[in-house]
Amino acid sequence: MKDLRGKALLDDSALTKSTAFSREERDRHGLRGLLPYDVADIGKQKKRALENMRRKNTNIEKYIFLTALLDRNQRLFYRTMIDHMDEIMPLVYTPTVGEACKEFAHIFRRPQGLYITPEDRGDIASLLENWPETDIRIIVVTDGERILGLGDLGANGMGIPIGKIALYVACAGIHPAHCIPIMLDVGTNNVPLREDPLYLGYPFPRLTGNAYFSLTEEFVSAIQSRFPNALIQFEDFLAPNAFHLLERYQKQVRCFNDDIQGTAAVTLAGIYTSCRITRKKFSDLTIMFLGTGSAASGIAELVFNAFRSAGLCEQAARKKIWFIDRKGLVVSTSENIKPRIKSYAHEYTHEPLSFHDAIADIKPDVLIGATGVAGTFNESIVRQMAKVNEHPVIIALSNPTSHTECTAEEAYKWSDGRVVFASGSPFAAVQYGGKIFHPAQGNNAYIFPGIGLGIQASAARLVSQTMFLAAAEVLANNVSEREIAMGAIYPPLTQIREVSLAIAVAVCHVAFSEGLTDTNLPDDLDTYVASLMYEPNY
């Protein structure tokens, strides 16, 4: 414990116990008289926190309350979140974090993390020296240009790294002192946002081109120098920049892009699990994507690798993946095909088909939406999927909830209760045809915290694609028969720390087998990794 006493100790969010300080501790640390009489343990404090949170009438008010709780008492916040994960995660992250980002400048209380602007060019290394901790293991960084499905939110996008850090701590036990959320505030092209008198960000148009990439180069270099053990998670960058940064650094430093690779792994896990419901063999599936952005193309790449691992040749694996864009089915004769999906633009003897007709002709087993556009899986589309499949698998990834391709209720209703459904945002249970369905949430929190824990445990020099394949398999294997019977293709959020531990162990094995670490792994790897996990207790 730092040598803090009295009010300074009470005000330190990482060290305070508030009313849980014992009488002996109150005497020893100069706290006598600064606290009410009762010694309230963390359980009683948690009960009080939940009672106060539940008094709030809206989710954004609950978000503000939880943010203030974290600012006051770090251990109490995380203890409460871990013990009530299914209730609090949707408030700390999706879907509430979308609203929190839009309102970020208006609900701002105290700064968290680091902000880097073009005016810091040449000084980023010295700027990092201002951060009080030196043993940093996890960095989540965004430039705010493509926040969820909401677009360019500039510095308001800082809510995303802050939220993801909370998930690293709660879901995988990364110690809070080892984490930093970072905003690369390079401006915004959102003119109303720039003109908002309360906006806190760099109030200029976005930096682009060489000026942008030279700044990111300086940033990555400075991180490597100041925090050599850090894993960098790129988050919510616009697709071209996201791919450029990933390709530029993934073979040089510990880094990954959660929108590309984390989303891919959680989606692949859902596809694996769906096969237990549909009774289809994974290697026999045909998969169709609506949307051609970073998430969709990232999923396609991992699914392709999974098909190859399942024994398919390259040509056969690619032929099982199809894309739909605004003009319909993407084929070899389509115009302006994005480079990332060109290898999935197959030769086709007919004219490019509409979305509906493509489903009728291609007969995909799995339909994945990554568009950010609400309602694109309309009744006609869902019914067509149900026509060509006894149990159509529909995964509507876009979030927040207002941007989802279809709701859970719509999917069950339009498929006559036969759909295997998952979404990027949470939906409540749906009653249809006398049966209660529990729709699954394809939440990246099932994947990235375990990846981070595994990288920390193994001291892997790089993050490989094989790690995400392994993570997807682990996640799928953690879905019980009980969840399968309820139509869920992911385990409950209450088990997420166990899932993260299992993924971390798998990542360690991959790091060792691929020669990405010089660390000798202990015989009892599960126990070792578990020993690294932060438990927020007094």
What mean pLDDT do residues 250-265 have? 97
Please determine, for residue 351, whether its predicted confidence score (pLDDT) is greater than 80: no
What was the pLDDT predicted at 153? 98
Mean pLDDT of all residues in the chain? 96
pLDDT digits (tens, 9 = 90+) for 363-375: 999 999 999 899 9
Q: For the whole prediction, is pTM greater than 0.75?
A: yes
- Annotated catalytic residue: which of 93, 202, 212, 446? 93
pLDDT digits (tens, 9 = 90+) for 190-245: 999 999 999 999 999 999 999 999 999 999 999 999 999 999 999 999 999 999 99
Write out the H or E segment, with its range, that includes residue 430.
Answer: strand 430-432
What was the pLDDT predicted at 270? 97
Which residues does 53 contact at the CB level (< 8 Å), separation at least 6?
Answer: 62, 65, 66, 69
What was the pLDDT predicted at 343? 96
Model confidence band, residue 283 (pLDDT cutoffs 50, 70, 90): very high
Phi-psi region at 260: left, alpha or beta (left = phi > 0; alpha = psi -120 to 50): alpha
Q: Where in the chain is the domain with CATH 3.40.50.10380?
A: 91-253
pLDDT digits (tens, 9 = 90+) for 463-497: 999 999 999 999 999 999 999 988 889 999 999 99
What was the pLDDT predicted at 399? 82
Please determine, for residue 352, whether its predicted confidence score (pLDDT) is greater than 80: no
Is 164 noted as a catalytic residue in this protein? yes
What was the pLDDT predicted at 440? 84
What was the pLDDT predicted at 425? 83
Which residues does 302 contact at the CB level (< 8 Å), separation at least 6?
Answer: 261, 264, 265, 267, 268, 465, 468, 469, 472
CB 255 within 8 A of CB 244: no
Which residues does 266 contact at the CB level (< 8 Å), separation at least 6?
Answer: 442, 443, 444, 446, 447, 472, 475, 490
Model confidence band, residue 318 (pLDDT cutoffs 50, 70, 90): very high
pLDDT digits (tens, 9 = 90+) for 425-442: 889 999 999 999 988 889
CATH of 91-253, one of 3.30.70.580, 3.40.710.10, 3.40.50.670, 3.40.50.10380: 3.40.50.10380
Which residues does 537 contact at the CB level (< 8 Å), separation at least 6?
Answer: 42, 75, 79
CB 468 within 8 A of CB 476: no
pLDDT digits (tens, 9 = 90+) for 130-159: 999 999 999 999 999 999 889 999 999 999
What was the pLDDT predicted at 132? 95
Q: Where in the chain is the domain with CATH 1.20.1370.30?
A: 6-90
Please determine, for residue 1, whether its predicted confidence score (pLDDT) is greater than 70: no
At the fourth CATH level, the homologous superfamily of domain 261-445 is NAD(P)-binding Rossmann-like Domain (3.40.50.720)
What was the pLDDT predicted at 485? 87
Please tell us whether the domain made up of 6-90 is placed in CATH 1.20.1370.30: yes
- Residue 140, strand partner residues: 181, 233
According to DSSP, residue 205 is labeled P
**In terms of pLDDT, which residue wins out, 349 or 496?**
496
pLDDT digits (tens, 9 = 90+) for 407-431: 999 999 999 999 999 998 889 999 9
- Annotated catalytic residue: which of 62, 102, 164, 320? 164
Is 93 noted as a catalytic residue in this protein? yes
Q: Where in the chain is the domain with CATH 3.40.50.720?
A: 261-445
Which residues does 522 contact at the CB level (< 8 Å), separation at least 6?
Answer: 528
What was the pLDDT predicted at 443? 92
CA separation, residue 180 to residues 107, 191, 272, 504 (Å): 21, 29, 33, 20
